[in-house]
Amino acid sequence: PTIDLSGTRSTVVEQVAAASRSFGFFQIVNHGIPVQVLDRMIASIRAFHELPTDVKARFYRRDAGTGVSFISNVDLFHSKAASWRDTLQVRLGPTLAELEHIPEVCRDEVVQWNLHSTTLGEQLMGLLSEGLGLDKDTIKNTTCLDARVMVGHYYPCCPQPDLTVGIASHTDPGVLTLLLQDHTGGLQIKHEGEWVDVKPVHGALVINIADILQ
C-alpha cells in the first residue's frame, strides 16, 4: 500500500495501522524529506562504493567500534552461500559517529539523512502508537528510537548471477526500517505466501515493521 502522509491524521493513522497489520510494509509519499535529499543520498552512497579499492579498504572492518564499517556479506561464515553485496554502515544514534570516521564522499548526505530520518521516525512512531489505540508518544517514550543505524547496500555486477542473490530472504531485527530504493528495483516482500515485487516510486520510502515492533 502507498500512503500519503499529507492526508487527514485520522485517515493516515487508519491506513498505517491496516497496512502494518496486513502487510508489515507500506510506502509513504509526501513524508517531508525533499526528493533532492533522497537523490543525493543514493548518489553519495554509490559514489563511496565506486571509489578505488585501496580507498575503501581504509574503512573495512567487521566491528562497529568507530561507528562506521565497510563490509561484504554480513552473514559471512554463517550462510551456506554468500550474498553478493557490499555494505557501508554508519551509526546514527544515540550519537552520530565522529564525522572524521564517515567517508568524506557521503559525509554531508549522511548528516542530512540523520536529521530528516529522525524527524520522520518520530512521526511514524506517533502514527503507529495511535493505530494501536495508544497515546501518540507511547512508542517514542520507550526510547526505541535512540539506537539508529544507516546501511548503504551496493550490489556489484556478478559474473555468475545464477549462483547467488543480492541479499537472502530475512526479517529486519529492529523496530522500524526506513528503506530508500534506487530506480533499479529488486526488492520483494512476502505476502500471503507469495513474493511480491515492490516497484520503485521516485521520492517514496518503504517502511518495514521490524521484529521488535511486530
Spell out the domains of the chain, with CATH numbers in brackets: 2-209 (2.60.120.330)
pLDDT digits (tens, 9 = 90+) for 61-108: 877 788 999 998 777 777 777 788 999 999 999 999 999 999 999 999
CB burial readout 152-174, b (16+ within 10 A) else e: bbebeeeeeeeeebebeeeebee
pLDDT digits (tens, 9 = 90+) for 113-127: 999 999 999 999 999
**Which one-letter amino acid corresponds to residue 122?**
E
pTM recorded for the entire structure: 0.93
Query: Which residues are 197's β-sheet partners?
Result: 188
